[in-house]
Structure 1
């Protein structure tokens, strides 16, 4: 066995990846959000490998990626008018709908729940793979459980190595944060995870602003991915702070008698007055730009040996709200949520 997976691209790579999925192997695939760790959703042994490789609890549900909204009925016991409206508006794209599952959908995908998350990804390579494979692909993010999601094939290789058979290289993910998850399985439409489709955009389609679930779940209780209190965590301690606080906080950390402290700063714009010893990462911009850069910057912080990353979040509107959510969950691993 080699230490690295087979990295492929182009039409030949898609054929190799589809064959690997049919053989019950794991394939890392690009999407517009993050890279997914994919397996044949109908194969319990293959899906079990996802949980083993990630170190993910088996009762933590997965999202099933499908090639087209027309096959929702193969997975959903019922497609409500709201579910159909959201699919029509945002698929292919960074939206997952949580629906009541068909009896034929296995517990190995749903974590034993009576719902299943479905998504048509907005990445042409992912769609070509789904069409070539001919079935649903269960795929969480292609990284170890709880850690920073990958937005490039190189991130996947660095994280998982030969634990994944094939990595389908589609370049850097265009959105950079995970899909929005909307529960349409009950009487109330609820956003379970903020993501690449904003609440404002959902409201435009639904005709009302859906409630955003604020509960921070523990392992075993989450009905969808991305709901755990602590998640998306780099090795660095993440501290959320306002633009008016960051200079003083950096100075305090560096002035303490702690020679091993390395302070980094991530903000939408350049911060004036930082201590010379602080490492200022390239500004991430606002909204969609911050989302695109976020996970790469968190990984960069770890490569630079940063021990404390001070993060000034973007404005919490549009996709900026999803960025703030990810930063809060990353900070929760350190108990330092701003």
Structure 2
């Protein structure tokens, strides 16, 4: 094969406070032949996730910012179309972190073979991928709420939040939640059967939590940060527990994930706050994915995807996350029929 090209989304400029589709560009770049121990993969689906915003900023305080001109990366599931690895023959379905492109060449160690007989291959980017493990670790391994306790989940119509809320319900907890539209609120009540849900855009959350949780909150699964985190801290019981998964409401703000305004109440109430880095739970992945797959097959979990078609639309799909335009997991279909 000569002069092959791969199409990929690259960072075209450093984003400002508000990320834009104009911060990205789609380019063609040379695609080499796979060498010894390598495979060439055609992606079918890619994942776009809020955490990717952190890598684009030079003020994230976590890692160096992605250089302008560099290709975006993230979760992907695809099919091996050329191989120099006996254990990964042509036709093998694999997952990788080579998303945001239609094809790539990589070492065998950089891809993970997965079963092709799953309900939808895109599930490996969501419920049976990092999303599912994140929610599972937060509820089952960190918070471990008991039956009868109250769990508050923000961003509960999103990918991680929707799974976390359902897992808490399955543990016999009372689950209260927030979402960003009335349609999402109705879905969380009518489909996921959460106990109380507020539209954060039109609701005084401090008053909402005081009314719905007069005895206080035992556990808070935080996906959004900002004023919602402050409201949760105010409503927490003494010795309550918070797991910090994300802060999507703050990623595009000038202060960029500033600390909670109700900081001293953490001390007053003896609240425990635990950070959730999914990479620290990879050793529990097999156990978590097995349980999640079993629950999905048994009808105990609802899994929702918002699917956008075409690599060219990946930037739009990504930006729309910060406007709350997804329900469940945001997926970009690159070549679903390959």
TM-score normalised to the size of structure 2?
0.27
By percentage of residues, which structure has more strand? 2
TM-score normalised to the size of structure 1?
0.27
